[in-house]
Structure 1
Amino acid sequence: MPQLQQTARVAVLMGGPSSEHEVSLNSGRAVAGALREAGFTVDGIVLETGELPPLHEDVRAVFPALHGRFGEDGTVQRLLEERGLPYVGCDPAVSELLLDKARTREVLEQNGLPVAAGMVVTRPDVPLPESLGLPLIVKPNREGSTIGMAKVNGPDDWRPALEEALRHDTDIVVEKFVIGCEVTIGILFDEPMLVIEIVPPGEIYDYDAKYVYAHGKTEYLCPPRSLSKKTQKRLQDLALATFHTLGARDLLRVDIIVNEDETIILEGNSIPGFTATSLIPKAAAAAGLTFPNLCKQLIDAALARGAG
């Protein structure tokens, strides 16, 4: 792969108009710092609206460290392609698909990959779906960081969960709650990364468990303590099949739940959290790949591919 000269100028986009603005700022600042450490000239661009400002004429590649809408729904990718700028990550159509949990579920299921039983809801007065049983997970269709997500343990939880999710999106994904070991697996350039087991302090890996820690800190175990090497390999193969099925490129984080009876793909994330202690960088570090080198490899891939 041709490599971008380390004196080249690159732009890191961060912030954005979505509800994940602050999370994105953390990712963007970390990526910008890592690329500077790798020897690049870096323009850190903080976005406040859904518009892409003019970039320096010498910028040769762009790293979108944007989470949620505008950054992960194909919008900024289309804008960069219109300007003829190479960028890290999935193309516009795949980015749009990956942020849409309902469509992602459909594509995976149509291709024989395992997803939880579920449905899409658009109104708060929909009756509790008896066919799915209890408990359920309710989540906005196009939000990340588990924003707006709630667990439904009984009938009294149903309507409040829908109302909260509908504050964030017009489409709500409702799924059977699967109990098991939650793991995340990155796919980097068509190769599975190490498996990370996620052990939250409560029942679900929600926004608090990721960022706030009001109920205790989440453990991230690499290698996992609950899974055999054979199971880890099977999950890596499943994550790679997810990457190929969805048409991803460069990088995809695949979240999976596994128990004795079933293995369920939860979702794919095209621009996952990207601080030095985020999940993908954790897996890279466990394999001996430093954060600056990880970021450099992604920028190099964007340049090698070129615009569009």
Structure 2
Amino acid sequence: MIDPNLLIAVLMGGPGSERDVSLASGAAVVKALQGRGLKAVGVDVTDHEVNLPEGTGLAFNVIHGTFGEDGQLQDILEAKGIPYTGAGAASSRRAFDKNKAKVRFLAHQVPTPLSEIVDVSNGPALPEMPAPFVVKPPREGSSVGVHIVRDQADAQAAMEDAAKYGNDILVEQFIQGKELTVGIFDDQALPIVHIAPRSGFYDMANKYPWLSGGAGSDYFCPADLDEETTQAVQKAALAAHRSLGIEIYSRVDVLLDADNQPFVLEANTIPGMTETSLMPKSAAAAGIPFDDLCIRIAEISLKLRA
């Protein structure tokens, strides 16, 4: 049980590209905690400084992407001696950097697409891998700067755009198949969510149509998969979570090919936390309502970092 007098600062916003989504997550978490009688306040983080209310006993981190999800915020909170929710500094850095995560996946036999890292620090460069492939900036969230290259003639433009975000671009084998995501909570895999974009792939526009005016996506949870495939996907997702050493919870993105083989793409350590976000959908299908999920994240985090 959480002491009702404990001040919980819900950190939201942040300086990155996912600021608006984070503000929505933060508002939902504050509402859920307050609705259960807890002393929760929202804190809008606008830059790389964190000014916590006096007496803060727990920082509930829902800053997605840059700063909140890459270890920077965790380092600051640890220096302040403030317990916080979710992944620690080291595991956040591993998970946020797709290149580092790929190394861990391979070392722990997590099924993941073939890949290469293309160094563009000395100018434009193309991958050795033939099309089709996927170009990804390694340290951006929500599909920022991601391109599916189906024709070799489009490779240069995709690489140049990805180079805006860093010099070590991840290029992955393109896997045609179902887009799935698996919530991991307290070292257990939750029911699978099947993501069905209404057009294209699951990019920023289809994730957040209310921000971009995109076509959006449909979601099915639990995903309509046979038991053997369900277990294979959940096993791969849990293996990815564990390989990165992520504490408490995450959401792992998986592609399922035509032969029902899962391929892990990445693990998100600060997934969306509105009542309609994918991690809460997954938890709800396991019988964990949104407010219970928020409280249990807080309880486990306090126990880990008290």
What is the match of residue 13 of structure 1?
A: 11
Q: 1:85 Cα shift?
A: 1.1
In 1, the alpha carbon distance for the partners of 2:303 and 2:214 equals 45
In 2, the alpha carbon distance for the partners of 1:201 and 1:235 equals 23
What is the match of residue 285 of structure 1?
A: 284
- 1:210 lines up with 2:207 in the alignment: yes
Q: 1:263 Cα shift?
A: 2.0
In 1, the alpha carbon distance for the partners of 2:293 and 2:242 equals 21
Q: 1:292 Cα shift?
A: 1.0
In 1, the alpha carbon distance for the partners of 2:126 and 2:178 equals 30
What is the match of residue 41 of structure 1?
A: 39
Q: 1:145 Cα shift?
A: 0.5
Write the mapping of 1:1-308 to structure 2, written as runs, cut at 5 A: 3-53=1-51, 55-123=52-120, 125-129=124-128, 132-212=129-209, 214=213, 216-225=215-224, 227-261=225-259, 262-307=261-306
C-alpha RMSD of matched pairs (Å): 1.5
Kept in 1: contact 2:11–2:45 (CA 8 A): yes
Kept in 2: contact 1:80–1:87 (CA 8 A): yes
Kept in 1: contact 2:252–2:266 (CA 8 A): yes
Q: 1:127 Cα shift?
A: 2.9
- Which one is further off, 231-240 or 137-146? 231-240
Using the size of structure 2 for normalisation, the TM-score is 0.94
In 2, the alpha carbon distance for the partners of 1:106 and 1:117 equals 11
Kept in 1: contact 2:132–2:152 (CA 8 A): no
In 2, the alpha carbon distance for the partners of 1:138 and 1:126 equals 12
Kept in 2: contact 1:182–1:199 (CA 8 A): yes
Kept in 2: contact 1:184–1:253 (CA 8 A): yes
Kept in 1: contact 2:222–2:282 (CA 8 A): no
Q: 1:155 Cα shift?
A: 2.2
Kept in 2: contact 1:73–1:99 (CA 8 A): yes
Kept in 1: contact 2:112–2:264 (CA 8 A): yes
Kept in 2: contact 1:140–1:172 (CA 8 A): yes
Percent of aligned positions that are identical: 37
Change (3 A) 1:301 1:142: same
Q: 1:217 Cα shift?
A: 2.8
Kept in 2: contact 1:201–1:215 (CA 8 A): no
- Which one is further off, 253-262 or 139-148? 253-262
In 2, the alpha carbon distance for the partners of 1:128 and 1:79 equals 37
2:184 maps to a residue whose letter is I
Q: 1:128 Cα shift?
A: 4.3
Q: Secondary structure at the match of 2:24?
A: helix
- Which one is further off, 260-269 or 85-94? 260-269
- Which one is further off, 35-44 or 267-276? 35-44
Change (3 A) 1:183 1:245: same
Q: 1:214 Cα shift?
A: 4.8
Q: How many residues align?
A: 301
In 2, the alpha carbon distance for the partners of 1:82 and 1:215 equals 41
Kept in 2: contact 1:128–1:155 (CA 8 A): no
Per chain length, whose mean CA-contact separation is higher, i.e. which structure has more relative contact order (CA < 8 Å, sep 6+)? 1
1:164 maps to a residue whose letter is D
Q: 1:245 Cα shift?
A: 1.4
